[in-house]
Structure 1
């Protein structure tokens, strides 16, 4: 996707890269259905959405651990493929973009800004989700957790995403709700936005992540003044 105007003239970044779960997409309801299917298969009571939500951005292993804290870590590791199989069936059935995300993306596009996704979700699952959300012709690049040999907090996925859209990392901004998102952006030389509307554990302290700015809701990013200067 090529920009139709100079977004910097309007005060927007040239390009924005987003985390997916907990940043663009409220996928916790899909993850809850997945987790509860695994609990039911083992004769256990279901989790609540409130109990699972803080763990979603930490990935499958964290969610399995939250659901089965009494099970040995090594045994839980073997359940990851089962989790992904269940999740593949629930994908896109219950979740939706966070309120304000579509308005934010529309504002970026209207300013001529290119945007894409860098997620730790397996690429094949992220690639299935993008058209479900109607973003297949809008998202300029998609990097999944297994697209490259490393994943966030390593900066390489962000660097490669910038390369694929023809941008220098310093001309992009990364938006994410997890500390590893901000660590990766800083290591990539990319300004960052902490998405405070996402998923966080009670002990997380986003003000200590050293993001360039923190934003409470996606709608705020419709305003060019809310973005950090590259």
Structure 2
């Protein structure tokens, strides 16, 4: 845990910010369909969900690397634009919110908590996700990986999200399934929750990320006491 921020349950925060892929949305099936279209076009064998799922939160380059492990870095990077074009066609066709996410969001909204998304996914792709889930009028702020000059693990995306909502970082809580989510939150002075239901490589150690809390499933966060204490500046 981060020793500089309180970790006791303090009720729902004024603002809850979430990573998208692997935290709110189980989007791995969309990415598998994307990778398999690319592989099929090259006469290669498909990847499985188990192959690709651990890499989703690491971004498009990591997923291309998992699908084409024999290619060097330059060759893999050259495939990223194609990956993103195909992914936009597959986006939302196979993905769905994780079980418990809608109950969690409804509980936050009922308590008057605003919520938003801070993701490293390109903003235009993240925005395309919202209507399919009915989130376009509910999500109070959206910061993508290309919205600003920096992306996670830099704290700037979280700082700007808080600024746009008129609150301090200490009044927010950030929830994410990757170490860079927690690193960004810690650098921003924002309490955080490690989403253990998300996408992780075998060697990842969430205990070492120093989040204020760790949760096994989204439904836990429908309860106010599951949230770390955020500062109430009201």
TM-score, length-scaled by structure 1 = 0.95
Runs of 4+ in 1 over 6 A off after TM superposition: none
- Please show how residues 58-207 of structure 1 align to structure 2 within 5 Å: 58-207=58-207
How far apart are 1:47 and its partner, in Å? 0.5
- Three-state SS of the structure 2 residue aligned to 1:116 is strand
2:27: which partner in 1? 27
Bigger RCO (CA 8 Å, 6+ sep) = 2
Distance in 1 (CA, whole Å) between partners of 2:12 and 2:83 is 39
How far apart are 1:11 and its partner, in Å? 1.8
1:4: which partner in 2? none
2:19–2:181 contact (8 Å) kept in structure 1: yes
Gaps of 5+ in 2: 1-9
Distance in 2 (CA, whole Å) between partners of 1:209 and 1:192 is 10
How far apart are 1:225 and its partner, in Å? 0.6
2:14–2:171 contact (8 Å) kept in structure 1: yes
TM-score, length-scaled by structure 2 = 0.94
2:11–2:226 contact (8 Å) kept in structure 1: no
Distance in 2 (CA, whole Å) between partners of 1:66 and 1:85 is 18
How far apart are 1:224 and its partner, in Å? 0.6
Distance in 2 (CA, whole Å) between partners of 1:159 and 1:11 is 22
Distance in 2 (CA, whole Å) between partners of 1:227 and 1:11 is 6
| Aligned residues between the structures | 221
- Three-state SS of the structure 2 residue aligned to 1:79 is helix
Distance in 1 (CA, whole Å) between partners of 2:174 and 2:12 is 13
Gaps of 5+ in 1: 1-9
CA root-mean-square deviation: 0.7
How far apart are 1:42 and its partner, in Å? 1.0
Deviations 1:116-152 (A, max 9, x none): 0000000000011111110011000000000001100
2:5: which partner in 1? none
1:11: which partner in 2? 11
Distance in 2 (CA, whole Å) between partners of 1:187 and 1:115 is 20
2:225: which partner in 1? 225
Distance in 2 (CA, whole Å) between partners of 1:39 and 1:28 is 16
